[in-house]
Each structure stands twice: as structure tokens, then as C-alpha cells.
Amino acid sequence: MNKLSAEFFGTFWLVLGGCGSAVLAAAFPALGIGFVGVSLAFGLTVLTMAYAVGHVSGAHFNPAVTVGLAMAGRVGWNTVPGYIAAQVLGGIAAAVVLYLIVSGKADFTGVGGFASNGFGEHSPGKFSLMSALITEVVLTAMFLVVILGVTHKNAPAGFAPLAIGLALTLIHLISIPVTNTSVNPARSTAVALFAEPWALQQLWLFWVAPIVGAIIGALVHKVISED
């Protein structure tokens, strides 16, 4: 239960901090933080919460990461369902809080895209389904390579959260224009539940691509490293 609680609150913080920065601050009049600020926000949520609860649950905060770690033999497959459930519920709880904040704005008329992930017409840069698929698969694979490498028994101790947070920041800097950056099905699901209908219609890609990417990343790690 401690591990599941850690995954719940870690994912809650990721969605509240990352998606919250995108919804509330990215384009704030005259003081918007832009893509760089949102990228840093996502990285900082993982970095801070990995230090806070990483010793409890391993700090996955992401169904794709959990699947990738199971594929690499770092966690048992029996832990996967519980972790994913906790992550999705934590993300949804954060989306509820974010919705309550947004809906309190004086001129509120709806949440719109609500930082959801999309492709085609709903990609920030109008990138195609194929572009979105390649982006999410490749970047999630690289994310897993980083995670598995920096948490290896021979890696320098104490620096894993920093490297993982910076990797997630870099991933967002690359891919926000393409998909609004998922690499995390729990993050995608949480906000899609409150957004316009297209977000749920396109959600399948942001489960399939990150999980496929995570499996590829685990296999790459096995090729280049020995646990």
C-alpha cells in the first residue's frame, strides 16, 4: 500500500505540476512561460518527487515506465496492474484539482484541449499520426534507456532523479510541438477525461506508442548493459 500511495501522489504531482503549468502559465498574458517553462515543469515534478518517494516505490509515475522496468526484469510483472491503477488514479485526481482551479476563472467558458495530447488537427504543430507515433515511441524508448542506465547498480549513486528529470525536460523540448508530449499514458488519460471529445478519441495512441517505446527501450538496455 505504501508503494501504491507513493505512485498515486507522485503521478498526482506530475500531472498537477506539468499539465498545470501548461494550462495556467504557458501563455499567461505578458508573463507566459512557453514551451521551455512547461518542459522544465514536467522535469521538475519527476525530479522532486523521485527524491521524495523514490525510496518507497521506485518513482515510476508512468504506466509505460512500469511496463519497461518489468520488461527489463527490474520489477515483477505482478506489480504492474497495481502500479498502473495507482498512477492513473493519481493523474485523474490532479486533473480534478486543475479543473476546479481553471473553472474558477472569471471568464471561464470551458477547458478546451486542457493540455491533452493529439495528432493531426490537434497536434500543436499539425503533425500527422505517423509523426506522432514515431515521436512517442522513440522518445519513450530513450527515456527508458536513461532510466535503466542511471538506476543500474554500477551507476553513480544519488544522481538518478536529476538525470531522469532532465531527460524528461529534454523530451518535452523536442516533442511539445508534435504531440504536446505524452510518453506517459496516465498523464494523457487524466486530462483527456476533462477535455474536448477529440482528446479521448485520440487517447489510444498515447497508450500504445509509449508502451511499445518502453518495451523497445528495455530491449535496447539489455543489449548495451548487463544487470
- Domain residue ranges in the chain: 2-224
Residue 31 has pLDDT above 80, yes or no: no
Whether the CB-CB separation of 175 and 187 falls below 8 Å is answered with: no
Task: Flag whether pLDDT at 181 surpasses 80.
Answer: yes
**Is pLDDT above 70 for 227?**
no
pLDDT band at 30 (very low <50, low <70, confident <90, very high): confident
- Taking domain 2-224, whether its CATH number is 1.20.1080.10 is answered by yes
For 186-202, what is each residue's pLDDT tens digit?
999 999 999 999 999 99
Q: What is the chain's mean pLDDT, rounded? A: 94
Question: What does the pLDDT read at residue 106?
Answer: 85
Return the pLDDT at 105: 87
Is the CB of residue 33 less than 8 Å from the CB of residue 84?
no
47-51, 114-118, 143-147, 156-160: range with lowest mean pLDDT = 156-160
Q: Is the pLDDT of residue 158 over 80?
A: yes
Q: What is the model's pLDDT at position 155? A: 81
Model confidence pLDDT, tens digit, residues 89-107:
999 999 999 999 999 988 8
The confidence score (pLDDT) of residue 198 equals 96
Task: State how far the alpha carbon of 83 is from the alpha carbons of 2, 107, 136, in Å.
Answer: 11, 38, 21
| Percentage of the residues of the chain whose pLDDT score is greater than 70 | 99
Instruction: Say if residue 45's pLDDT is above 90.
Output: yes
Burial of 51 (0-12, 13-18, 19+ CB in 10 A): middle
Rounded distance, CA 2 to CA 6, Å?
A: 6
pTM here is 0.94
> Residue 226 above 80 pLDDT?
no
